[in-house]
Amino acid sequence: MSAVLLIAIPILAAFISIIVKKWSPYMLLFVSFGLVILLGYLPFEIITIGGFSAPYGISLVVDNYSYTALYVVNVLFFLVAIINVCNYKKLGTILLVSLAGLNGLMLTGDLFNLFVFLEISGISAYIITTTNKKPLATFNYLVAGTVGSILYLLGLIILYNMFGTLNMQDMAVRIAASGATDIEVALPFLLMFIGIGVEAKLLPFNSWVKGILGHSNKLTGPMIAGVYAAASLFVFGRLLTEVFVISDTFMLIISVILAFSILAGEAMAYSSTKVREILLFSSIAQAGIAVLIFVSGFTGYAVLFISLNGFSKVVLFLIINHATEVVGSDEVIDLKGLFVNNKLVGASFTATVLSLLGLPLFAGFFVKMGILSQLFSSGDYVFPAIILLSSVVEGVYFVKLLTKLWYKEDNLPQVKFELPLVYLVVVISLLLVVFGLYFEPLHEQALVLVNHVKGVIL
Amino acid sequence: MKNFLSLVLVLALGGMIILSLQNNQYFTAYGEVDITKRVSESYIDRDVNGGTQAVEFGVANNLESGPANIVTAIVADYRSFDTLGEVTVLFVSSLGVALLLASGKQKRLDLHFHPNFMLRVGSRALFGIILMTGIFVIVHGHLTPGGGFPGGTMIASSILLLYLADDNFRTKVKSFKTLESIAGSLYVIIGLVGLFAFDYFLVNFLDNGILGELFSAGIVPIVYALIGLKVGSEISGIIDNFLTEEVA
Amino acid sequence: MLLYAAIILMMLGLYGILTQRNIIKIIISLNILEIGLNIFIISIGFVNGGVAPIFTGQNNLGSIGFVDPLPQALVLTAIVIGVGTTALGLALAKKIYAKYGTFEIDDMKGAE
Amino acid sequence: MASLEFLVIIALLGGVLAYLVGKLSKVVGASLTVLVSGFIFVSVAYFGLNGSLDASITYLPFVSFEATDLYLGTSFGILVTFIFFMVSFFNPYFVDKFKYPSLYSMFYLFSLAGVLGVFFTDDFLVLFFFFELVVWTSLFLIPLGKSKKAASWYYGFSAFGSFSLLFAIFVMRNTAGSFNINDGLSMVGGSDQILVFILLMVAAFAKLGAFPLHIWLPKVLGNSPDPVTSVFSGGLEKLGAFVAVMGLVKLAPVGPVIEAIDMALGQYLIAILGALTIVFGTLMAIRQDDAKKLIAYSSMSNGGYILVALTLLNDTSVSGALYHVLIHALASTAAFLAIGAVNRQTGTTKMSELGGMIHKMPVTYIVYLIAIISMAGIPPMGGFVSKWLIFQSVINEGMILIAIATFFGSIGSFLYVFRPLAALFLGQELPEFRKVIKEAPFFMLLPMIILSGLNIFTGVHPSVILQYINNVLAELGVTELGITTWTLSGNNGDLYPALIAVVFGVGVVIAFIIFIVLKKSRKVDLMDTYTAGNFVYTEELLHYSVDFYAPIERLYEKHINIMKDFYKGIAKKVQEFGSFVKYFFFTNKPEITVLWVVIVLGILLLWGDLL
Amino acid sequence: MIISILMGISVAFFGFVLQTSIAGVNRKIIGRVQKRYGPKWYQEFLDIFKLLSKRSVTHGWIFDFGVIMALGGIIATAMFMPITNDLMAFPGFDNFFIFVYLIAVGMLGMAMSASGSGNPLASIGVMRALTTMLAYEIPFMIIVLTIIKLTGHSSLSEIAMFQQTAVAGLEFSGTWFMIALPVGFAVAFLSLMGMLGKKPFETYIAPAEIASGPMVEYGGKQLGMLFIMHEITVFIEVSLFVHLFLGGAENIWIFLIKYFLVYTSVNLISNVNGRFKIDQVVVFFYKWPLLFAVMQAFVAIYLGWVI
């Protein structure tokens, strides 16, 4: 039961499924469920492909970090797939391939292989977003994504030229051995940082996000904002902790960009009147926070933050996209009073929002406390101030949204949420509440991840 | 004004990258690359897993990785996972194009360009030659430069030739799809067999034979052939999608 | 010198993306960017006086000044990825043309 | 031997139970809140007073309580749970008008659980956990009333407050090494101490609704349903007072000492802000037309009193402040409940639409009268004692500007408390209310009567409670107030409250004898009045309630919502910044991303001095 | 305890009798000033007893209860008032704030019954009374703050003793505050006129505008009781002023003289004045009086320049 199956099986299923077109959605469900089960039996090890040892052949790394990442991505993928399988039958194969690509992203230990999987998941993402019926927005996404991956490849090749290897760990070892000052190493890492930054929705590079998520539907919304966002942030984390060596001048600049992107994201969300825009801008801000935590070096809580964020975004986008499809527009005025008739969905939406805000009795509270305590213990006061200020603004516009969605007297929007969506949404929000109350497992997971030091795989 | 601004920006960026690469003492200049400091040195000497046999054309028997063409060795053996990813990328994009353009019943696009006599006859003759060279390139992938990808595109170009030659020529798209899927799944199955039988995914479990022989380098030629067929059918599928339009 | 040519080509591609308003031209400049990158990758592996990394009848002894084979393998993959994205871009261009009737981004009505 | 953790669990489970029961029948669900809050109050009061609350933790993870010799927390805890218990009597009568009745009772009990947690813990993180719990549970109570926007104002300010508290907590943890409250507050020093002081004050100001951060108070208290308003002003504001005590008394004074009035600069600034709160609250209260908003502004200005008293740090002022917290809680809750009773009968609290309630609701009138006497600080009631203590310390410190504000506040309070009395209860009885109105039901009157009884008791015999407050002073390290069984001694004079009450009684008896001895006068109805010739038929014309204090209101009419526009301006700025960034970064042109990539790359390379 | 209460009642009664007779005498003096004889000195007593014997009208129980509470409150305040150094009902407990706030109870009772009477003129009168109170109270309290800060006691008898005998330790003791704080004395005198409702600040009685304000609905015994209340209030305020600024009294005669002088001077000044409009009253007290009060307080407390 080696982790390669996580990639091989979906690809195999994808290849087979183009013959038997009508079964492809059911194959998708079966494979993705199978992978979630398979995840239970994965040993922590380095898997060499083709029998060639690490720096020469390609190696897949299964450690705590990638295990959590895999778990989050696969479970989220499976949930989104169940909801959307019935009305996006044609995309069965594409989704299989994107599953393989995402798993590859999480597992791979080789930089060039990361580029290939980045491309696979990227292209399948472009195709998924074509269902938004907005070809220009998808075109923007394609151009941005391709430019991003080109920059990543350029940075990668420069690194290869300087240190002669492609394996992440070997690269880290060689950089340390060569004693290259972090100024000299800055150019390639900068290119790779920006390359991944485009995909991870960091502010200056994410003008494609508004087009895609602004007009998303029940599949693209949760997929891009939930699954892909979590995956790209995990990749970001993997690179930042494993390979990158960031000099303090760049740390300053990057943190200025991140701080700007957090505050600007919240301000944009505050100023937008469309519900989906509010959600997408707040997810931009949260992406900024996640990368901020990675840059400050706390992988443990960053992973928890990303996974919680991923789950919450899937819930939020599912509900809002379904309502927008029925009502026709996602303006807050048109969706006013949405939860008056469907209280269960409203309750889980509210619970998820409160967990995003980091209020007690919800899992978000514990993660936020963890992040802040680590940021403070490292002695810096600026980032926590920014995070807290942004969560105040975030709180205000979410409360404004909630009061609008819950309270309206006459001609309420006639929206019926079908059972699987309701069931999924309730289960996730219940999870958030349960982990909010009983957060021992989260604590252990965070501690285990914290000592995931560079080079120590297991 | 915007163009001028972006020109200045781009030039400045280019200049900065070039200058920074020059000043960087670790960035070896063009041409003075010392292979020994790089990973690829052991690809050339085939001693990744400690193989001690000196690599000599026509003499070395059952080397660590068989193909004479080192690039093919890297592509299909050392880093064959990349190639698998590679194939999926092409597979996904062709599928995407098909999804975008060919949603219903398709018929040939009536272009205002009609092939004249010269093209029709010439392409009939050329079709066979291009096809043959394509297949040759695929089969000798492990000995001579080329391999699955270039060979596949040659096959596709021969099919493109047929498209240009005759207005209502349409390949049986269905058959290409099945060929593509069989080739792809065979490739993955070989990998899985390697995993289950020889506990490494995509391991070269056949014996590598003598360097430079036609029948050497274990599964590499088989894998390359499959890739060639797959790439050929995918690209011709893409051509077909672009040259057809929906039946109104 | 190939190195600088490659970077200049890439900058040209970037300039093309920045200034062109036509979808097809953007795709073309994207391709130029990719080609520039591929040349850059190849130039990384060149060794003065190196020989193509294939064992043949004449140069059959190991390490007699082969050119670095790894970038060539990488460029093979990069080219195919370039093909993939360009094919998808063109398909999208066809879709955009079907929807808006033009390739010029500026006069696409209702694109917001 | 009630354990705190057991009480918190009861509150939480009670909330869930109330929700489920509420689904069946609203009223039963709401009356469940009465039982639960009653039980909690009784156990907290009984066990808290004889100091036998045990703080062992068995189920709740992460939470740690502390009950032994925690007089400050116990006194606040008893007070706030008492207010919750009294107000919960109103729930069954008001719950049928809400859109989500069962949710109401659940969140009511959740906020009670939160309040319990805040007062009885010695660990900052647990304090913040319950603090936030109170914030968001009470947040959902507000929209049940009239305005929906009030909730976002409330969350904005209290989130700002609680996050600055969180920031202060972590700053203290850096020096103290652990989240313990006492060593956190004592060990922080130097520039960190100033930062912590400022942040704690921001949190206290946001929760108390003091001057710079008070915009939400009238909006929320004015518009939310009546039980929620009373809980807010009586109970939840005391969280702010609790944090203020931590910030001003437990934390060492901050900033250079001004020798003229030997007070630290930090304390003096807070005193100035407290004075501004008093003046601003009084001015705004005088001109309100809605009775609930008026009492909301009055609780704002009383918050100012508490702040001023806490900054003076001598025995009379701190005991005056703590006593004022108690008095204000009792008086404003009683006033809000009385107005709530009127609101339930008539459906409106606008003074211009009401009048002559006394004829049909005399008991409510008496309760309201006693409440406003206490709020205005008039002798027989408790307000006089706490105001006297505060005046003693203000005069003793000789701070003229602060004294002006406190005097203005106390005289002004006499003005604005009288306005609802005259407009709501006295004056002509409007015809449409004559037939339909009847006295509030017994179970609504019960809490009001208990509260007014307590108002009188705290005024006549304060030393019982002041004795307990002295323990709190000892715990806070402030010199204790000199009190004997009946008299209290301030800095420059003694007070014998019981004597004043007795003498007042004697005076009334004498007046009554004079009244009875003389001839009985003929009963005449209200319409038969001397109107200098022009006879008037309709009651409305004879009822003077609109623009009651017109001469004063005209003085500052133009600039009453300076602060509101200031905060609206901030919201506008954030909005503009958002759309500005949106315009720059998010157009649907593909080259925008690439442009920014190139720019950022260029800047970074240029700056990274790679040349 | 009982003896001191009886003592208090007698003080209150003495206050009433004193004030009514001095009011009568003042009416004669004012008459003389206006070139007429003026009524007999006991005219005030006659008016009160006439009213008490008349039968009048009541507007409900709050109307009566308010009057009773008003008179009761004022009597209670008067009971605390010290006459001379040793002649007082409750030694040691005659705190300044008790007077300020117990008068408020009287005012509240009267205001309650006035509004309860249902006559808008009464409510307007009450409103004006409260507004003027807001105006004159602040400067007065500032000056009293200075006095309490200087003397260290807030009970009236101690303040009076402080001014009479020069004690070695305290540098300001021995001089009347009228001389020690001249500006303060002037401001307090203005506030006293506001308190007594004398001419320039007589907005809340204002017979021309609102038909004697709060008193409009009263007659018979209610009006009589209110007259008694008015007299005792005047007694309290004037004797408060005497104790604070003129150094109290060693014996009863000095107290009477000082009392007479203060009351007549207030009456004489008010006689020649017109009446402020209600807006002017509020603004007037917040301009110069408050400024001077604060200046006086600042100078006295922080710089210690006391004559």
CA distance, residue D574 to nearest chain B CA (Å): 29
Is C87's CB within 8 Å of B10's CB?
no
Q: So what's the pLDDT on residue C82?
A: 92
Length of chain B: 248
What residues of A are in contact with residue C81 (Cβ under 8 Å)? Answer: 116, 119, 149
Question: Facing residues of A46 across strands?
Answer: A61
What residue numbers bound the domain in which E185 lies?
2-303
Neighbours of B93 (CB within 10 A): 29
Report the candidate in D411, D116, D124 with the shortest Cα–Cα distance to residue D283. Answer: D411
Neighbours of chain A (3+ CB pairs under 8 A): B, C, D
Q: What are phi and psi of B31, to 5 degrees?
A: 100, -35
Neighbours of chain E (3+ CB pairs under 8 A): D
Is A136's CB within 8 Å of C71's CB?
no
Q: So what's the pLDDT on residue D532?
A: 62
What residue numbers bound the domain in which B22 lies?
2-33
Contact A304, A441 (CB under 8 A): no
Q: Which residues contact E79 (CB under 8 A, 6 or more apart)?
A: D503, D506, D507, E5, E8, E9, E11, E12, E89, E90
CA distance, residue A57 to nearest chain C CA (Å): 12
In this structure, are B19 and B126 located in the same domain?
A: no
The average pLDDT across B6-21 equals: 88
User: pLDDT tens, D316-357?
Assistant: 888 889 999 999 999 999 999 998 888 888 888 888 888 778
Chain D residue with the nearest C-alpha to that of B24? D610
Q: Give, rounded to a whole angstrom, the gap between the first and last alpha carbons of chain E.
A: 41
* Residue among A269, A271, A399 minimizing CB distance to D139: A399
Is D594's CB within 8 Å of C112's CB?
no
Q: So what's the pLDDT on residue C61?
A: 60
Rg (CA), chain B: 23
Domain count, chain B: 2
SS3 D550: helix
For each of the domains in chain C, give its residue range(s) and CATH number, in order of start: 2-48+65-100 (1.10.287.3510)
Measured distance CA(D208)–CA(D241) in Å, rounded:
7
Q: Which residue blocks in E152-277 are alpha helix, DSSP H?
A: 156-164, 177-180, 182-196, 207-210, 220-245, 252-271
Chains E and A touch (3+ CB pairs under 8 A): no
SS3 D105: helix
Average pLDDT per consecutive 10 residues, chain A (458 residues; last block may be shorter):
87 89 88 90 84 83 87 92 85 91 90 92 92 88 92 91 86 84 81 88 82 86 91 89 79 86 91 90 91 85 89 92 88 86 90 90 87 86 91 92 87 85 90 82 73 43
Chain C residue with the nearest C-alpha to that of B87? C80
* Residue among D492, D544, D554 minimizing CB distance to E279: D554
Choose, out of B23, B24, B35, the residue to mutate when testing the contact with C (most C CBs < 10 Å): B35
Q: Which residues contact B247 (CB under 8 A, 6 or more apart)?
A: B104, B105, B106, B107
Q: So what's the pLDDT on residue D534?
A: 67
Measured distance CA(A193)–CA(D601) in Å, rounded:
10
Q: So what's the pLDDT on residue E209?
A: 67
Measured distance CA(D471)–CA(D461) in Å, rounded:
18
User: What average pLDDT does the structure give for chain A?
Assistant: 87
- DSSP of B69-90: BHHHIIIIIITHHHHHHHHHHH
Q: Which residues contact D24 (CB under 8 A, 6 or more apart)?
A: none
Chain C residue with the nearest C-alpha to that of D594? C18
In this structure, are B174 and B76 located in the same domain?
A: yes
Report if residue B152 sits inside a domain: yes
Choose, out of D594, D596, D597, D605, the residue to mutate when testing the contact with C (most C CBs < 10 Å): D594
What's the 3-state SS for chain A? Answer: CCCCHHHHHHHHHHHHHCCCHHHHHHHHHHHHHHHHHHHCCCCCCEEEHHHCCCCCCCEEECCHHHHHHHHHHHHHHHHHHHHHCCCCHHHHHHHHHHHHHHHHHHHECEHHHHHHHHHHHHHHHHHHHHHHCCHHHHHHHHHHHHHHHHHHHHHHHHHHHHHCCCEHHHHHHHHHHHCCCCCCCHHHHHHHHHHHHHHCCCHHHCHHHHHHHHCCCCCHHHHHHHHHHHHHHHHHHHHHHHCCCCCHHHHHHHHHHHHHHHHHHHHHHHHCCEHHHHHHHHHHHHHHHHHHHHHHCCHHHHHHHHHHHHHHHHHHHHHHHHHHHHHCCCECCCCCCHHHCCHHHHHHHHHHHHHHHCCCCCHHHHHHHHHHHHHHHCCCCHHHHHHHHHHHHHHHHHHHHHHHHHCCCCCCCCCCCCHHHHHHHHHHHHHHHHHHHCCHHHHHHHHHHHCCCCCCCC
User: pLDDT tens, E131-185?
Assistant: 888 888 888 988 888 888 888 888 888 888 888 877 766 666 778 888 888 888 8
Q: Which residues contact E122 (CB under 8 A, 6 or more apart)?
A: E114, E115, E213, E214, E215, E216, E217
pLDDT greater at residue D20 or residue B102: D20
Domain count, chain E: 1
Pairing of strands A46-48, D488-489: unpaired
Residue reference for tokens 């190991």: C62
Is A12's CB within 8 Å of B189's CB?
yes
Measured distance CA(A135)–CA(A121) in Å, rounded:
18
Joined together, the tokens standing for residue D332 give 């404003």
Establish if D484 touches chain E: CB-CB under 8 angstroms. no
Neighbours of A98 (CB within 10 A): 27
User: pLDDT tens, C63-72?
Assistant: 567 888 889 8
What residues of C are in contact with residue A150 (Cβ under 8 Å)? Answer: 10, 33-34, 37
Q: So what's the pLDDT on residue A31?
A: 92
- Could you tell me where the beta strands, DSSP code E, fall in chain B? 106-108, 244-246
User: pLDDT tens, B163-208?
Assistant: 888 877 777 777 888 898 999 999 999 988 888 888 888 888 888 8
Contact D350, D290 (CB under 8 A): yes
Q: So what's the pLDDT on residue B205?
A: 83
In this structure, are B109 and B224 located in the same domain?
A: yes
pTM over 0.95: no
Band of residue D165 on the pLDDT scale cut at 50, 70, 90: very high
User: pLDDT tens, B79-131?
Assistant: 888 999 999 999 999 999 988 887 777 788 777 878 888 888 888 888 899 99
Chain A residue with the nearest C-alpha to that of B192? A8
What residues of C are in contact with residue D605 (Cβ under 8 Å)? Answer: none
Report if residue B146 sits inside a domain: yes
**Positive or negative, the Cα torsion across B146, B152, B155, B160?**
negative
Question: Facing residues of D258 across strands?
Answer: D263
Q: Give the type of residue at E76.
A: A
Is D379's CB within 8 Å of E108's CB?
no
User: pLDDT tens, D266-290?
Assistant: 888 899 999 999 999 998 888 888 8
CA distance, residue E57 to nearest chain D CA (Å): 5
Report if residue B52 sits inside a domain: no
Q: So what's the pLDDT on residue B231?
A: 92
CA distances from residue D607 to A39, A158, B11 in whole angstroms, order as listed: 45, 20, 17
Establish if B175 touches chain A: CB-CB under 8 angstroms. no
User: pLDDT tens, D301-327?
Assistant: 999 999 999 888 888 888 889 999 999
What residues of C are in contact with residue B96 (Cβ under 8 Å)? Answer: 87-88, 91
Establish if D398 touches chain E: CB-CB under 8 angstroms. yes
* Residue among A191, A385, A399 minimizing CB distance to D151: A399
Measured distance CA(A28)–CA(D153) in Å, rounded:
47
Per DSSP, D483 falls in state E
User: pLDDT tens, E83-129?
Assistant: 888 778 888 788 888 888 888 888 888 888 888 887 888 888 888 88
Neighbours of chain D (3+ CB pairs under 8 A): A, B, C, E
Q: So what's the pLDDT on residue B27?
A: 82
Measured distance CA(B103)–CA(A131) in Å, rounded:
13
Contact E249, E265 (CB under 8 A): no
Pairing of strands B244-246, B106-108: antiparallel
Q: Which residues contact D429 (CB under 8 A, 6 or more apart)?
A: D355, D356, D357, D359, D360, D526, D539
**Positive or negative, the Cα torsion across D497, D503, D504, D506?**
positive
Q: So what's the pLDDT on residue C3?
A: 84
Report the candidate in B186, B243, B233, B241 with the shortest Cα–Cα distance to residue B91. Answer: B233
**What ipTM was assigned to the predicted interfaces of this complex?**
0.87
The average pLDDT across D507-515 equals: 89
Measured distance CA(B222)–CA(A260) in Å, rounded:
54
CA distances from residue A316 to A199, A281, A354, D545 in whole angstroms, order as listed: 21, 13, 12, 50
Band of residue C34 on the pLDDT scale cut at 50, 70, 90: very high
Is A157's CB within 8 Å of C95's CB?
no
User: pLDDT tens, D200-259?
Assistant: 999 999 998 888 888 888 889 888 888 888 988 888 888 889 988 888 888 878 878 877
Contact C73, B79 (CB under 8 A): yes
Joined together, the tokens standing for residue E40 give 């007999």
Q: So what's the pLDDT on residue B133?
A: 92
Is E72's CB within 8 Å of D378's CB?
no
Measured distance CA(B168)–CA(B172) in Å, rounded:
12
Q: Give the type of residue at B161.
A: L
Chain C residue with the nearest C-alpha to that of A130? C92
Q: Which H/E stretch holds residue D488?
A: strand D488-489
The average pLDDT across D123-143 equals: 88
The average pLDDT across D473-502 equals: 84
Chains E and B touch (3+ CB pairs under 8 A): no
The average pLDDT across D506-519 equals: 88
- Could you tell me where the beta strands, DSSP code E, fall in chain E? 57-58
Rounded to 5°, angle at Cα D14 from D8 and D17 = 150
Choose, out of A154, A263, A283, A392, the residue to mutate when testing the contact with D (most D CBs < 10 Å): A392
In this structure, are B74 and B154 located in the same domain?
A: yes
CA distance, residue C89 to nearest chain A CA (Å): 7
The average pLDDT across C8-37 equals: 91
What residues of A are in contact with residue D601 (Cβ under 8 Å)? Answer: 151, 190-191, 194
Task: Say whether pLDDT at D406 is over 60.
Answer: yes
Measured distance CA(D438)–CA(D357) in Å, rounded:
9
The residue ranges of every structural domain in chain D are 236-505, 579-611
In this structure, are B19 and B93 located in the same domain?
A: no
